[in-house]
Structure 1
Amino acid sequence: MNVSRNDSDGSSLSSGNSAACVLFVDDDRDVQAAAHLLFRRRGIEMLSAHDARDALTQLASHSVNLVLLDLNYTRGATSGREGLALLRDMLVLRPDLPVIVVTGHSGVAIAVEAMRAGAADFVMKPWNNERLVALVGRTLEERVAGQTADAEPVMIVSSPELSRIVAEADRLAPTRAPFVISGPPGVGKTVLARRIHALSHDTGAVGIIRAEECDALPEKGRSWIIRDVEALSPQMQRCLADRLDEGGAPRVIALSTLDRTVLETRLDPRLMLHLGMVMLTIPPLHRRPDDIAALTTHFLRYFAVRHGLPGPDANEACLAALKAGTWPQNVRSLRAAVERAVLTGNWHVPVVQVQKNMVGPATLHDAERTLVETALRKHGFNVTQAARELGITRPALYRRMARHGL
């Protein structure tokens, strides 16, 4: 994480009563360094992010007033699609956030597309320093930036399983289709529901209904999120089915820990006809090891900023143990484990039973040896396959085998 804080040695831009904070997303570190010097002279705090995931973490962790957004982060990429996807995710998190697109390879056409998607303006590389500062100042004056967001609304997606679910949710979000989002506690059902609402055409606030406490449906509201929908009383289920039969009915995003088969036995058949149009099921976290690694990085940075403490190192051995851990409350459990690690300066990693009659907790050294040995034995000491399962390279696995005498 790159944060620049310096006293102003030139004219100052501000948002409200505090110095403005700009997040610049660009994979080119030379461009970042040039921008850092430019804004420092004007008393502007600048945060740096080099890819989409880093940008979302910075946005969740800091009171950002404006974003400068490059559109390509992968070497050789010129289409701008990475930046457009990040723009959408940032505006889900902060709908009123002013974003200025910085484009070079992608050209004017993709910048115009970005403005249609919600960007405030664009600037071409190489930029004129004074014009860029003037544009930033004018944009800050015209747009009132919101407060910093919490970590929870950020949907960190890395695994193929969750990527498919989020892509389907994004595709249908602009429609009025109802949803059922199912999955065990803590997998992110509410976060996905809020994302769907943010990407819809509904500009109003979304109503939250707790089914177990619901004794009357709201009179108003175009969009409702109903938590634990199966807990609605039979009377409330019939009332909701009646409401959904009417013209101009609210859009309902129902959340449940039950799968479709069980849910069909718990809900009124007429209500299930409405709600069961689209059903998205989020798998438990232990089945999404790529998301465990991505979330760990996100939460480490978030809590380091929140508590003002350096986060402990999440090396390959630690990530392997985290991926093999048990997470009863899924993302909530991982979030708590990472926050504890930041506060204490040490990892307390739960280790699952990876060998017969061997159950954690254990030290990271013991956990690493157990994980490596188990993977090797499982694949008949085929190093390539074992390394693939552990999510590390073959040289990295050889080093660990030597370290543990395997």
Structure 2
Amino acid sequence: MTTFRNELSETDTSHDVDLPCLLFVDDDRDIQIAACLLFQRRGIKILSAYDAAEALTVLASHPVDLVLLDLNYSKGARSGAEGLALLKDILVLRRDLPVLVVTGHSGVSIAVEAMRTGATDFVMKPWNNDRLVSLVTSVLEKCGRNHGSDAEPVLIAASEAIKRIVTEADRIAPTRACVLVSGPSGVGKMLLARRIHALSQEAGPVQSFSAEDCDDLPEEGGVWICREIEALSPTLQRRLTDRLDGSAPPRVIALTSLDPAALSAHLQPKLMLHLGMVRLVLPPLRERPEDIAALASHFLHYFSVRHGLPEPECDTSRIAALQAETWPQNVRELRAAIERVVIMGEWQISANKAANQTPELQTLRDTEKSLVEAALRRHSFNVTQAARELGLTRPALYRRMARYGL
């Protein structure tokens, strides 16, 4: 496991919360050590990250006032694409966080592109120490201290499947198109929706609501994130369609756990035309083992900092064990499991029975009872939502609940 810390423990000043904190993202360890010496001697704490994943974990876990961002992290990389992608992730997580881009091989043109993306300024390698410290100091004075300790949860994209979805979301984010985000519960639909809004051209706040609890539509336009869109009543579906047909329609980002075919059975065809303009489907966590490994690393560090506890070690065998689990509640369940590991200080994760145990045979009755009970628990015993997931009517679900004593 990667440990996020100051490079020079003997000069560590991280205990002093009054000092400004700088995050330096660069894959070169020698440059990291030089930067730590430079800034710590001038009363600025510095944290190190060597790639995009580590940088996002540090930002989610530590109070950072400024980011010094190199643009290339892979061996032989010179295009700056890695850094530009990370810059976008940083601005999604902390929109007002100042970012100073460090460029060498990538040149001035990529630095200018970074400025257009949202970077505050840039410096060239090799830098002049006094000028760099002066620039960092002036930016900190200008931007003030805003740690953003309650930052949004991080959208981790390690697998190619999620990277493709994020790329498509980023591409359509600046448009006004409605978006339908589907996927099982706990997979990260809300995180993706908030990312789309953060990268959009909308200046105002987003309005988020659940269709099931919705008695009327918001009066103002802007961006609406509607959870469980399938639960929208027929009357509100007609009103929403009329709003979307109007001259100043809201931008709706609709979230659902249903697949498109099942959703079409709940929504009126004209509304589906609007909402289905762009469809993003997030796969379950069990289908993307690379994300399981990256998320485990992220949550281990995040919760160790949050609870002030040592970060448990995580070797390849433990990662393999995590990847062997099915994670019915996806990222939400993995997050809770890793937090438990940090709190208890030991690895006791078993969403399924151990691999060396022979599972007991279940009758059809046992299987149906388990499915019904699991669906009810996932939806906090909301009968309407559980029935919808199981493909049952409410009376049919009530009969099964009575049959199995649920």
TM-score > 0.5 by shorter chain: yes
* Equivalences for residues 35-184 of structure 1 within 5 A: 35-150=35-150, 153-184=153-184
- 8 Å CA contact 2:20–2:145 kept in 1: the answer is no
Is 1:2 matched up with 2:1?
no
For 1:145 and 1:112, locate their aligned partners in 2 and report how far apart those are by CA, in whole Å. Answer: 26
- 8 Å CA contact 2:180–2:254 kept in 1: the answer is yes
Give, as a single letter, the amino acid of the residue that structure 2 aligns with 1:310.
P
Cα distance, 1:329 vs structure 2: 1.2
- 8 Å CA contact 1:61–1:150 kept in 2: the answer is no
Which runs of no fewer than 5 residues in structure 1 stay unpaired? 9-13, 361-406
- Residue by residue, what CA displacement relative to the aligned partner does 1:243-267 show, whole Å, maximum 9, x if unpaired? 1110110100000000100100101
- 8 Å CA contact 1:180–1:255 kept in 2: the answer is yes
Give, as a single letter, the amino acid of the residue that structure 1 aligns with 2:22.
V
TM-score (norm 2): 0.83
TM-score (norm 1): 0.83
Cα distance, 1:18 vs structure 2: 2.7
- Residue by residue, what CA displacement relative to the aligned partner does 1:282-309 show, whole Å, maximum 9, x if unpaired? 1111111110001001111111111121
Cα distance, 1:219 vs structure 2: 1.1
| Secondary structure of 1:18 counterpart | coil
Is 1:219 matched up with 2:237?
no
For 2:49 and 2:254, locate their aligned partners in 1 and report how far apart those are by CA, in whole Å. Answer: 35
For 1:120 and 1:299, locate their aligned partners in 2 and report how far apart those are by CA, in whole Å. Answer: 29
Distance 1:137 1:74, change over 3 A: same
Q: Which residue of 2 aligns with 1:286?
A: 286
Structure 1 residue runs of 4 or more that deviate by more than 3 Å after TM superposition: 4-8, 144-147, 149-152, 351-357
Distance 1:28 1:220, change over 3 A: same
| Secondary structure of 2:23 counterpart | strand
Cα distance, 1:146 vs structure 2: 3.5
Percentage identity across aligned positions? 61
For 1:315 and 1:59, locate their aligned partners in 2 and report how far apart those are by CA, in whole Å. Answer: 24
| Secondary structure of 2:243 counterpart | helix
Distance 1:284 1:245, change over 3 A: same
Aligned pairs, number: 353
| Secondary structure of 2:265 counterpart | helix
Distance 1:351 1:223, change over 3 A: closer
Cα distance, 1:19 vs structure 2: 1.5
For 1:7 and 1:279, locate their aligned partners in 2 and report how far apart those are by CA, in whole Å. Answer: 48
Which runs of no fewer than 5 residues in structure 2 stay unpaired? 361-406
- 8 Å CA contact 2:254–2:275 kept in 1: the answer is yes
For 2:184 and 2:173, locate their aligned partners in 1 and report how far apart those are by CA, in whole Å. Answer: 22
| Secondary structure of 1:2 counterpart | coil
Distance 1:145 1:260, change over 3 A: farther
For 1:317 and 1:264, locate their aligned partners in 2 and report how far apart those are by CA, in whole Å. Answer: 43
| Secondary structure of 1:216 counterpart | coil
Cα distance, 1:356 vs structure 2: 9.2
CA-atom RMSD, angstroms?
2.0
- 8 Å CA contact 1:325–1:349 kept in 2: the answer is no
Q: Which residue of 1 aligns with 2:199?
A: 199
| Secondary structure of 1:141 counterpart | helix
- 8 Å CA contact 1:237–1:268 kept in 2: the answer is yes
Is 1:349 matched up with 2:352?
no
- 8 Å CA contact 1:286–1:326 kept in 2: the answer is yes
Cα distance, 1:151 vs structure 2: 7.0
